[in-house]
Structure 1
Amino acid sequence: MKMKFLNFIWKKIENIFENDFLVLMQITLLNFIPYGISKYFFNKYAERPLYQKILKFLLGEIEFFIFCLGIMIILSLFKEKIKNIILKIIVCISYFTFIVDILLLKNFGALMNAGFFQILLETNQKEGFEFLKMYFNFKIVILMIFLIALNYLIIKIFNRKIDINKFFKIKSFKIIFIIYIIYSIFDFKGMKILSIKRFYTAINGAYTNVKEYKDIGEKFKDNKLTIISNDSKIKNIILVIGESTTRNHMSLYDYSLETNPLLEKINEKNLYKFTDTISPHSHTIAVIKKLMTFYNLESEKEWYKNNNLIDVMKKSGYTTYWFSNQESSGVNGNVAVALGEQSDEIVFSAYRDSDTEIISNYDEEIVNKSVKYIEKENRNFIIYHLMGTHGSYRHRYPKEFNIFENDSNERIGEYDNAVLYNDYVIDKIISNFKDEDSIILYVSDHGEEVYDFRDFAGHAETNISRYMVEIPFLVYTSDRFIENYPEKVESIKNSVNKPYMTDDLIHTILDIADIKTSEFDETRSIINKNFNDKRKRVISGKDYDTELKNKN
């Protein structure tokens, strides 16, 4: 019985190689080439030697070839007419997705993803056409020529009958080959390469993401926002949200390596370092919900039922901007995107979802990109949402910032290099606003443990440590700001050593801006004379001051 089954499968394989070998190679090459380029030349293998990239690419293509062969064996069980229709559909879609993938790789360094399709879903017909025109103009003609040439080569090389038995003269080899084909089908690795599957996943993800954060936006509209007083005159208020940066690896906070050479050069009358600030959580989504709204540790209602900072600033006469180097969609990005969508202008460095590995999209790119959007004559509230020192650490900085090495653990050196680059980015933002009436607040969403006292790097509330929540909080005041608001500067200066948790950041920003809403609480503003410095700071059920601070 087993031999009959194996012989039956082998006959199917023989028939595919004799009659459908061209189709097999079209599906394999059109689907794998973009995926292989992305994986082995753009992402985690980007810094490997060329021969390793090519070897990985070829091995991956062989593995995918076997998977595609398995799919064609399954399709051969259908009637010939139905099988041919399905194969033609797969080939046609493969050509289409090949074009889309290659153009996305060229323009955004990513394959088809929900973030790209989300842009098309959110814009009107005219805006969608302009977006496509911007990135898919004459390049599409060049790509079509390339595709025609590629198709010609595929047909020229592979449009022939192949006698598979020439390569498998020993029966046991045939059995091993069949077993591997069956394994490759049920292993499902090939499915993530198959462009039809990726196309469906991206479209479905785009619809889901748009619906999810649009729903959040609709819930924001249900909130009643009451501005009690608005005496704000500050020209530029900038909030920089970092990522996974612990102050324990910053020389500004007495770390042994010089990871903040630029920030340390700034005059102490302009830059204020808060020494005892922590995040309310050790992961981004939970922090952003509290950082950007009146939602805090003591809140009883859902986070979206609290008013958010952007809506407050808009209603107070500020032009609001959200500049992000983080994902533009996905399970990890929808909360931030929903908040960003409340802004007058939301701009991403690239369009990608949470599942897209982030390589070589450095934070300075979004800083540079932001300049052309900011209206100089307006009062501006600007948010930069950076990648900061998020893992993988070595992908957070250009090679010229590869300065520090750690003999005992290379990842520590990579993290310190990421902190060094973050210093450069923050300084760059400061340079852009230092000649105007500006105040810049920099805070990391949460911290990071980097082998500080145990064999662990990362952040997880189930395994919480002080390193995961001890974050930098810096306030930069320009010379013009100091001249215009000396009493505010004095309040900031007198507050730098107070204990603080950033779920109250919205109160501090509004206090600085001289904006009061019905939710504003002066006891939660660290610069206010009535600030409550006795408030308990609890993370994951633990009292930071008694259970985590000064431990390990």
Structure 2
Amino acid sequence: MATTKSAPAGRGGIDWAGLGWMFLFFWYFSGVTQALIWASGVAGSTGSRQALLASVLWLIPPLLFPGRTRLLAGVIGALLWLCSLAGFAYFLVYGQEFSQSVIFIMFESNVNEATEYLGHYFSWRIVLAVVAYGLGGWLLWRKVRPVYLPRRAALLASLLLFTTSVGYQGMHQLLKHEEFQVALDDFEKRIEAASPWQLVIGYRHYLQQLANMEALLANSERILPLKNLADAHAGQPATLVLVIGESTNRQRLSLYGYPRPTTPNLDRLRDELQVFDNVVTPRPYTIEALQQVLTFADQEHPDLYLTTPSLVSVMKQAGYKTYWITNQQTITKRNTMLTTFSEQADEQFYLNNNRDQNARQYDGGVLEPFSRVLADDAPRKFVVVHLLGTHMRYQYRYPQEFERFTDRTGVPDSVTDDQLPTYNSYDNAVLYNDHVVSSLIERFRATDPNGFLLYLADHGEAVFDAPDPEVLGRNEGAPTSPMYTVPFIVWNSPKWQAQQPRDFATALHRPYSTSHFIHTWADLAGLRFDGFEPDKSLVSADFKRRPLLIGNPQQPKNLIDFSLIKPKRSADPGNKFVQREREGKERPL
């Protein structure tokens, strides 16, 4: 009697269940962490979508070589598991998404720091979670089985899977951008949440940005110090604090007359503050604005940051120990310049290592390291605290307990129902920013310091401000006043005021651009040097009014005076500020 050999399961048709188990196995090593991030509200669903599409790629080898399915799946799965462990464990410890900023900190730490880190965060709970995570992958691997397709069908399916996973996006970016590097950067953004690309791309970007930063640092080291620097407070203990906000339009602060109580704590401190109400930023983007705020560059001399010392370098030359505490992302393509400034400081505290800017990374995290710096026994300290402030997306900028503005009370009628949640979330972000800034002031005041604290925002933000409620975000090509109006506040300690008596009353309403900020800071700090221009100091008796130039200084013919778009009073009782605005679009930080 003749016998026949049975065909492998699914050869008579597509084994959809086998294909599903195979995909679930490969997805597991990217999708679990991204699902936890999404479910916890730390970030949006972008990472989960990226993990879903990128995982499709790994189906190709088993479909082309079904006889070796278990071996291929095991090898690929082991690689994905190892590469995903860093992101999985990092989320368990910090509740954040792993990014190239974490890689930067890892490689910038020495062995002792790494040992202390592991000792501090070691937990059997983390170990058990990692073991369970690996066990889950192994159980799924046991479900993996060969899926047999006719050779031509397997090739066609592989082509389709490749196109779906990475091929379409790669080709789309190549056709969209003329420069290959730009296309590559955009393509990488669409797969970097998935394992192993999270590590591969993160490390490549780390090397790239590190090289850029080292070039900037090397250039800064060649810059000569200021000549004839004199300090009116030389030899005296002093602590000077600069707090840099983010995307905060002063017109939405009750401290500046906004009808909603968005700054209750600063309102209570009002009698202790010097509140300057006519200050604007030269540019509506963080890097471009701070490139002028923290250096001698300005709108008319935009490249001076390459040949003159930064504010950090000036304060070090004056004998201050310098600190940089930041809740901004550490080392991204956009933030390399900021990281370069921070690396010039003696000590750094990098708090935000999320891959995605749209993540719940609260500024309250700066308070603990700020207290540690204040307790440092260095007699003279200069401290920079860089906040994430009220940057888009606003709902990620504050904890749940600060979600107090939820209805239409105090909202102009021009704001539509669809716009209302965003409008309210911005005010809630301002409310939490008030909590952080006021807490910094109170902690500083509690040390009975000899010094001052200055808070300003890098730029503003248009958030459906009447009379053009469609305007949201920032766009230098279509400038609107909310994009440029920034808070500028000084708290002086009694000791400092006694040593350097100053009447601020005549200066509070002066029109001023933060492009000349370094001269104001030097004046407040009692510093004089060759190149100091007192007429560019907001608080100097020699102050000279200048055009408030805004726009791209690399295109000087397009620079305009901010007064041309200065806000007018509104007839709307729900919003006392009205701006002449045009359509704007959000630009990344």
Q: Secondary structure at the match of 1:381?
A: strand
In structure 1, distance between residues paired with 2:500 and 2:281: 28
Q: Secondary structure at the match of 1:371?
A: helix
How many angstroms does 1:21 deviate by? 7.7
Which of these residues, 485, 491, 513, is aligned with residue 476 of structure 1?
491
Match of residue 381 from structure 1: 382
Which of these residues, 59, 77, 86, is aligned with residue 91 of structure 1?
77
Match of residue 523 from structure 1: 535
Match of residue 452 from structure 2: 439
Query: What is the CA deviation profile of residues 358-381 of structure 1, one whole-angstrom value per residue up to 9, with x for unaligned ones?
Result: 422211111223212331452111
C-alpha spacing 1:90/1:444, structure 2 compared with 1 (3 Å): same
Which letter maps to 2:214?
K
C-alpha spacing 1:535/1:523, structure 2 compared with 1 (3 Å): farther
1:203 aligned onto 2:203? yes
Q: Which is helix-richer, 1 or 2?
A: 1
Match of residue 419 from structure 1: 430
1:463 aligned onto 2:482? no
Match of residue 6 from structure 1: none
In structure 2, distance between residues paired with 1:140 and 1:420: 35
In structure 2, distance between residues paired with 1:13 and 1:221: 68
Match of residue 532 from structure 1: 544
How many angstroms does 1:507 deviate by? 0.7
Match of residue 248 from structure 1: 251
Question: Please, which moves more after superposition, 499-508 or 86-95?
Answer: 86-95
Query: What is the CA deviation profile of residues 128-175 of structure 1, one whole-angstrom value per residue up to 9, with x for unaligned ones?
Result: 44444444564553234323432453245x15577999xxxxxxxx9x
Task: Give the root-mean-square deviation of aligned CA atoms.
Answer: 3.3
In structure 1, distance between residues paired with 2:91 and 2:433: 26
Number of residue equivalences: 513
In structure 2, distance between residues paired with 1:361 and 1:69: 31
Which letter maps to 1:99?
L
Which letter maps to 1:199?
L
1:548 aligned onto 2:565? yes
Preserved contact between residue 13 and residue 73 of structure 1 (Cα < 8 Å): no
Match of residue 311 from structure 2: 309
In structure 1, distance between residues paired with 2:315 and 2:393: 34
Preserved contact between residue 232 and residue 527 of structure 2 (Cα < 8 Å): yes
1:278 aligned onto 2:265? no
Match of residue 507 from structure 2: 495
Preserved contact between residue 406 and residue 412 of structure 1 (Cα < 8 Å): no
Preserved contact between residue 12 and residue 76 of structure 1 (Cα < 8 Å): no
Unpaired runs of 5+ in structure 1?
1-9, 47-52, 166-173
Structure 2 matches for 1:47-446, cutoff 5 A? 64=52, 68=55, 71-73=58-60, 76-77=63-64, 87-136=73-122, 138=124, 141-155=127-141, 158-159=143-144, 181=161, 184-185=164-165, 186-188=167-169, 191-228=191-228, 229-232=230-233, 233=236, 235-268=238-271, 270-299=272-301, 301-352=303-354, 355-374=355-374, 375-407=376-408, 408=416, 409-434=420-445, 435-446=448-459
Query: What is the CA deviation profile of residues 63-93 of structure 1, one whole-angstrom value per residue up to 9, with x for unaligned ones?
Result: 93x8645542356446977x88765442222
In structure 2, distance between residues paired with 1:378 and 1:545: 41
How many angstroms does 1:183 deviate by? 5.7
Preserved contact between residue 401 and residue 421 of structure 1 (Cα < 8 Å): yes
How many angstroms does 1:275 deviate by? 1.4
Q: Structure 2 length as normaliser, TM-score?
A: 0.79
How many angstroms does 1:110 deviate by? 3.0
Match of residue 4 from structure 1: none
Match of residue 513 from structure 1: 525
Which letter maps to 1:398?
P
Query: What is the CA deviation profile of residues 42-78 of structure 1, one whole-angstrom value per residue up to 9, with x for unaligned ones?
Result: 33459xxxxxx9xx97xx69x93x8645542356446
In structure 1, distance between residues paired with 2:71 and 2:373: 49
In structure 1, distance between residues paired with 2:336 and 2:497: 37
In structure 2, distance between residues paired with 1:67 and 1:312: 48
* Sequence identity (%): 22
In structure 1, distance between residues paired with 2:71 and 2:98: 25
Query: What is the CA deviation profile of residues 494-546 of structure 1, one whole-angstrom value per residue up to 9, with x for unaligned ones?
Result: 21111110011111111111212333211111111111113453434343344
In structure 1, distance between residues paired with 2:191 and 2:13: 20
How many angstroms does 1:274 deviate by? 0.7
Preserved contact between residue 43 and residue 357 of structure 1 (Cα < 8 Å): no
Which letter maps to 2:240?
I
In structure 2, distance between residues paired with 1:478 and 1:109: 37
Which letter maps to 1:184?
T
Question: Please, which moves more after superposition, 185-194 or 365-374?
Answer: 185-194
Which letter maps to 2:93?
N
Preserved contact between residue 295 and residue 518 of structure 2 (Cα < 8 Å): yes
In structure 2, distance between residues paired with 1:466 and 1:113: 34
In structure 1, distance between residues paired with 2:56 and 2:496: 68
Question: Please, which moves more after superposition, 338-347 or 532-541?
Answer: 532-541
How many angstroms does 1:29 deviate by? 1.3
In structure 2, distance between residues paired with 1:129 and 1:151: 29
Which letter maps to 2:208?
T
How many angstroms does 1:219 deviate by? 0.8
Q: Secondary structure at the match of 1:405?
A: coil
In structure 2, distance between residues paired with 1:335 and 1:305: 15
Which letter maps to 2:225?
L
C-alpha spacing 1:80/1:124, structure 2 compared with 1 (3 Å): farther
Preserved contact between residue 288 and residue 335 of structure 1 (Cα < 8 Å): no
Which letter maps to 1:518?
D
In structure 2, distance between residues paired with 1:78 and 1:161: 9
In structure 1, distance between residues paired with 2:237 and 2:363: 26
How many angstroms does 1:414 deviate by? 1.1
Preserved contact between residue 278 and residue 500 of structure 1 (Cα < 8 Å): yes
C-alpha spacing 1:112/1:251, structure 2 compared with 1 (3 Å): closer
In structure 1, distance between residues paired with 2:511 and 2:337: 27
How many angstroms does 1:11 deviate by? 6.2
Question: Please, which moves more after superposition, 85-94 or 402-411?
Answer: 85-94
Q: Secondary structure at the match of 1:389?
A: coil
In structure 2, distance between residues paired with 1:120 and 1:456: 41
Preserved contact between residue 511 and residue 548 of structure 2 (Cα < 8 Å): no
Question: Please, which moves more after superposition, 274-283 or 377-386?
Answer: 377-386
Preserved contact between residue 225 and residue 517 of structure 1 (Cα < 8 Å): no
In structure 1, distance between residues paired with 2:496 and 2:247: 29
How many angstroms does 1:187 deviate by? 4.5
In structure 2, distance between residues paired with 1:69 and 1:356: 23
How many angstroms does 1:260 deviate by? 1.5
How many angstroms does 1:25 deviate by? 4.0
Preserved contact between residue 437 and residue 480 of structure 1 (Cα < 8 Å): yes
C-alpha spacing 1:193/1:502, structure 2 compared with 1 (3 Å): closer
Match of residue 27 from structure 2: 28
Unpaired runs of 5+ in structure 2?
1-9, 170-186, 409-415, 553-557, 568-578, 581-589
